[in-house]
Structure 1
């Protein structure tokens, strides 16, 4: 089934080249289908790259998906044109009365700031609180996961001596959990962050289940016990060359970065890295959309005071 995206979004042509079934919103209005409505709160600086990465994954399932992009009103994005944001993005004020079947909150390059030092933190907290009543399931990625762990569960982050960057192996703890159904016992995934969280704090929290971790990179996949929140501390959505581009950027800035671990062939940055995590990325997004969004969301969102009416579990 197709992914429905705003007309003229730059990612459209690239998705079509990759044979992702794309339907622009004008055509989708003629379809007598109840699609899933997914909100993407995109906090990454290079928004168009992140749009493509996430749309590629949402468009590779049997479910029809409508996508809305959300941007902060209290922070000015510097790496994307104002016209792009005005054309393809909404602010929280514009969508706060709506309901969404799922939401994705991306990472952001602000980990070294304390949460209350982030200029849009109050807005972010408002969105997290709003999601409790207006979104069936939310996937939080990297800084987004750290922010959710802090806001919902009181688990903070701490700075690392050196950046956690590279491709790391992760162990699956319980393969019967729907989110990781079909995963190999050990699988690779990218990380790119300057802070981390306490694995022990996650394990000891009564409202969170740790599903997968790495000996080198720590806790990776978590889910809340009520299954409303999926937390991913790394970047499964990354392309094969994303870590290389980040490394080259930091070299150009004179930051003297370490090579991403287990990434470049023979640790040679002149050699082209390969994507070894793609299949598990697609599986994670497919499982999330199927088991935690599609099978849990109501067919019709109906406001009844503070609650919504679960009129149907099937679409």
Structure 2
């Protein structure tokens, strides 16, 4: 019902929406329930930086229900940035040093675009694992998205990801594998978007004590969890936060990269995503692009067919439910820990 972002650090695309909320509703909600304090550590590259903010803001707002949520934005400082990205972070994000001294109920850590085959060789690796270790000790729960999920299981349990022959890209049917508080109220069958070049294998995860909650025959494991000493670690290989048009934007970006000769192969269309009209138009464009590839052809890219296809979002309902369950868990853990601390103080008098 309500999404709150720290005053003065609110990106314009979200401030415009929040400005429609009366000030008294903010105050009333805060009186009913202390805000859930969430750190969003957004590590996506510049072209996806603001879209990723919007996706998580929108998902958290819909999932929050009666709970007010306060989000603070961070990013790993060693992620390569251009001028626009650096300015955006300067305007709206907090330095990572602020994280260490802050109190959060939950943390969401996004992935980023990989540049090295070995994650340990990425320039951000040392700082990223510091965040993982901090989150384990100082949060009720942390969500790891895509590459962040790959990185944290490598760091904690030495589980290596495996490269795929082609990008795992599209919307895939999944099945709920076991009951868990996060999947409470979801149907047995669901669909989720995936977009990655690597995978974690189920047998390796299970052997290290992870519980697989959802998986797909085609795309493998999506949602899996593990309880650490103090924090429930929640991992997604897929992207429940994606908006309806995200896969189309990624596909168009990959086509442009091919035409710029930044990648050797023409990208595969996202599985289960485009309707017949869009797929036919894109196949025709592919034949043309392969015959004489150059970036100027992007002026002929069938934008209308692609954008008209972006209205459906078959995963939104279940994504909202899972994140609502997550927020409820975070609140219940905060309440329990507060009660324990109060009892300990009372008993020591």
TM-score (norm. length: structure 1): 0.87
Partner of 1:280: 318
Work out whether 1:129 is the aligned partner of 2:166.
no
| Structure 1 residue runs without a partner (length 5+) | 303-308
Cα deviation 1:199-252 (Å, max 9, x = unaligned): 11112222x101111000011110104461000001111111111111111111
| Root mean square deviation of aligned Cα | 2.6
Pick the aligned partner of 1:295 from 302, 312, 332: 332
> What are the superposed Cα offsets for residues 29-75 of structure 1, whole Å, 9 maximum, x if unpaired?
99545211100010112221111110111112221111111112233
| Structure whose residues are more often helix by fraction | 2
Unaligned regions of 5+ residues in structure 2, if any? Answer: 283-304, 344-349
Contact 2:39 2:74 in 1 (8 A): yes
Aligned to 1:38: 38
Aligned in 2, Cα 1:140/1:22: closer, same or farther, shift over 3 Å?
A: farther
Conserved in 2, the CA contact under 8 Å of 1:168 and 1:217?
yes
Matches within 5 A, 1:29-178: 31-32=30-31, 33-45=33-45, 46-60=48-62, 61=64, 62-78=66-82, 80-110=84-114, 112-174=116-178, 176-178=179-181
Query: Does 1:261 pair with 2:271?
Result: yes
- Structure 2 residue aligned with 1:306: none
Q: 1:110 to 1:301 in 2, by over 3 A?
A: farther
Q: Aligned in 2, Cα 1:283/1:125: closer, same or farther, shift over 3 Å?
A: same
Aligned-pair distance for 1:122? 0.2
Q: How does 1:180-195 map to 2 (within 5 A)?
A: 180-195=183-198
Q: Note if 1:197 corresponds to 2:200.
A: yes
- 108-117 or 180-189, larger mean C-alpha shift: 108-117
Task: Show structure 1 runs of 4+ deviating over 6 A.
Answer: 299-302
Q: TM-score, normalised by structure 2?
A: 0.79
Partner Cα distance (1:23, 1:210) in 2: 42
- Greater gyration radius: 2
